[in-house]
A and B are shown apart, each in its own frame.
Chain A
Amino acid sequence: MTEPSTPLMRQYAAIKKEHPSALLFFRLGDFYELFFDDAILAARELQITLTSRNKEKGIAVPMCGVPYHAAENYISKLIRKGFKVAVCEQTEDPRLAKKLVRREVTRVVTPGTAADSSLNSEENNFLAAVTQTSDQAGFAALDLSTGEFRATEFQGPEAARRIQEELQQLRPKEVLYGSSAPLFDRKSTDNRLGATHAETPLEDWVFSPDHAIPLLENHFGVLSLEGFGLAGKPAAASAAGAILYYVRSTQRGNLNHVDRIGFYERQNCLVLDAVTVRNLELIEPLFSGTDVGVTLSRSIDVTVTPMGKRLLRSWILRPSIDKAEINARLDAVEAQVKDTIAREELRRVLNGILDLERLLSRVTLETANPRDVLALAASLAKLPALRNSLAHFAAERLKTLHASVDELRFP
């Protein structure tokens, strides 16, 4: 890049310097513009026209742009392709600005932090973090679009392989790791299962327990992480803290919907390794191109809400090994098998409920538009009816769930 000559381009260059790995969407009036290499790449990936801006010292600056009201679409296209996008807004009223309007990057959207409406509603969109010390490995994953947040850690020589298994099962869209700790020995990385994700190195201190643990405690408003099962799990907590740090520094909003984190262990569920998930065609057909109808998930998925679809998928991948839990679920299923009318009524009410989790996440990330809020309201309006139809069942689990459904009458 040649030395920029106009104040505007100087402002651009300064902001771009802070986000070298992201495509910078630079707000100019009613458009977001991209310049230089960003423009060339975006024009190619988005199939939009590449033009050039006023000549900088005789050299034309490549430029392309998208109208601000259509930007979300273009951004999500780029994210799906694995790019990162930094959104730079005009942060003062142009009419009040004396000279150049102040501009700031208000959010950075990355494959692992996408929460827009174009996400596949049947799948989670995980952002993962991996941290490795000599004999410990920590792993955490957050789906920012739903608020699901969990962490685990492994000891000993098998630790690296276990982390591979987690990655293969959760299929995160983006993985964070300490820049001085290479993610894996690449030779041993087995990509046969076709998992692809963006990799984002962060500075090492982000992963230090001294930084990460207080950050988590602060976010969840607790004095200790014990309630989440994370006390005495420094590796897991560090990975989780790094995720929180990254999300905070890239997103707007208070992340209220990320309201809990769970420590988990693979051994707490029926373990299905990646090869088995594939061989049994639980989620995807063995031979790509085959009808997805051959998969177990498609065959038994008659859920009617996006939240239900995602939970069913997670139950398929992580069946329980707790006999009491299994029987509690079976009791609930049996109660509904026996009462067809009540079951049909329940499913009819559920059917109108939209993706509460994702609508909520857009609200707390301040990206929700009025249509999202109306959709949320319409779904919440169905909750009293849902509680009513749940009240028909005597099974213990359904009673508990009945109690957990809040009618959400806002004050």
Chain B
Amino acid sequence: MIRSGVHGELDELRDLSRNSKQFLAQIEQRERQRTGITSLKVKFNSVFGYYLEVSKPNLHLVPADYERKQTLVNAERFTTPELKEYESKILDAQEKIVDIERRLFAELRSAIAGEARRVRQTALALAEVDVLAALANIAATRDYCRPAFDDSLDLEIIGGRHPVIEQQEFAASSERFVPNDLYLNSTTQAVLVLTGPNMGGKSTYLRQAALIVILAQMGSFVPARSARLSVVDRVFTRIGASDNLARGRSTFMVEMTETAAILHTATPRSLILLDEVGRGTSTYDGLAIAWAAIEYIHGRTRAKTLFATHYFELTELADRLSGVRNYHVSVKETGGGIVFLRKVEPGAADRSYGIEVAKLAGLPGEVIQRAREVLAEHESAEQQVTGHLSRGAEARPAQLTIFTPLSQPVLERLRELELDRLTPLEALNLLAELKKQIQ
């Protein structure tokens, strides 16, 4: 394992060992001539070392200086002082070679170890060169832009894309990824409530914002046309809950633990992504918690927040809180179906398109048809507001029912009623009738 020319003694020993074959052949030749035994052979085994083998018919030709070592059925084995001396030289040499090689290698290793600091320093620098070159390569080949950092609390991304999904779609040469803008600040546009159908691109939009922030703060260019950013101190996410079920903890508990951690530690420099928070419990509890969480973030932590939800009711927050804005993922309705445009636009979604999504997912036509009927009945029955989440606010029409749903005809009757004209008996009768209606 050590190259020749490095160590003089090692080279000599190797020559000795390498030339042994030739040397033994010489001895064999010479002894054949001397004794006239043409079948004489020089051999080696691990028990006796080197020996001369003479076959039985030739034994009478063996000279006196041969020393007998072993007798076989049809041959005898001999040695000579010369052969003995040579044998010990060769075996010795081989052992020494191993020793010297081992020693030289250990010396080399410890010499390198002595320079460990320099090697490590270089390795660290080299790692960074590699990463920077890789990021440059990505930036150049994927049309990324350099993000600009300022001292505001704003995040402004124009034409942002999701770095991973964009590549996957590119690789599959399917539809082109639809870029989206994002604007967040800590005052007038701190919390975006994002509504729209499932599969419409809400989650992608949320993740893309976080990934762009992370890439930028790593020192990478970002997948966008332009990006003006401020330094974010923490990114929090609460996305989905589906796969935690399998791990044995209640989804809702997991969700609330994580949400609690977010509410406790977020700062105005943080970015929070909440996707369908509250889904793990009953509709009303979930909605109430989501509502309260947004109020808290808006009022207390002022962290920049993207909140994707299918609770339409939450879009009402935009009218009440100055920093909350509604956005929706756009959908185009075609005859009987929908097309996802994946464009994020200002304003609340007009409806959830759950049934259309179900249809795209391949639910049987009969189920879809029946779902439409049920939805129509339900919507007409729940046109009125009866409960309100915010304290002391006036009831307003055209808002979805949150708590106990009263039927619309009952409400109509009550509203039109002129109490002054009712006799006590009439009032009692009316009460009985209304009661009957709502049962």
Contact = CB atoms under 8 A, between A and B. Distances in A.
A240 B119 CA distance: 23
Interface of A is mostly: helix
B435 to A, nearest CB: 50
Interface string B208-243: 001101111111110000000001111111111001
Given A294-B168, A316-B218, A334 B146 contact: yes
Interface of A: 147, 192, 253-254, 256-257, 259, 267, 270-273, 275-276, 279-282, 286-287, 293-296, 299-305, 307-308, 310-312, 315-316, 319-321, 323, 325-330, 332-337, 340, 343, 346-347, 350, 353, 356-357, 360, 363-364, 366, 368, 370, 373, 376, 380, 383, 386, 390, 397-398, 401, 404-406, 408, 410
B254 A192 contact: yes
Contacts of B215: 296, 300
A323 B148 CA distance: 10
Contact of B231 (A300, A304, A321): A321
A271 B125 CA distance: 24
Sorting the interface of chain B by its residue count into under 10, 10 to 19, 20 to 34 or 35 or more gives: 35 or more
B48 interface: no
19 contacts: A259-B117, A271-B234, A275-B237, A275-B258, A279-B273, A280-B235, A281-B164, A282-B214, A311-B127, A319-B218, A326-B231, A327-B149, A330-B219, A343-B133, A350-B130, A356-B126, A398-B132, A401-B129, A404-B122
A317 to B, nearest CB: 9
A408 to B, nearest CB: 6
B257 to A, nearest CB: 9
A401 B128 contact: yes
A347 B167 contact: no
A357 B125 CA distance: 11
A296 B223 CA distance: 12
Given A296-B164, A303-B130, A363 B207 contact: no
Contact of B163 (A296, A327, A340): A296
Contact of B149 (A270, A323, A364): A323
Given A281-B164, A353-B126, A363-B113, A300 B210 contact: no
A12 B109 CA distance: 31
Which residue among A282, A287, A353, A404 has the maximum number of chain B CB atoms within 10 Å of its CB? A404
A147 B120 CA distance: 8
B282 interface: no
B139 interface: yes
A273 B164 CA distance: 21
User: Which 7 pairs from chain A and chain B are nearest by CB?
Assistant: A329-B219, A308-B130, A336-B136, A256-B116, A319-B217, A307-B127, A404-B125
A333 B126 contact: no
Contacts of A335: 136
A325 B105 CA distance: 43
A370 B30 CA distance: 42
B47 interface: no
Nearest to B95: A95
A371 to B, nearest CB: 9
Nearest to B141: A302
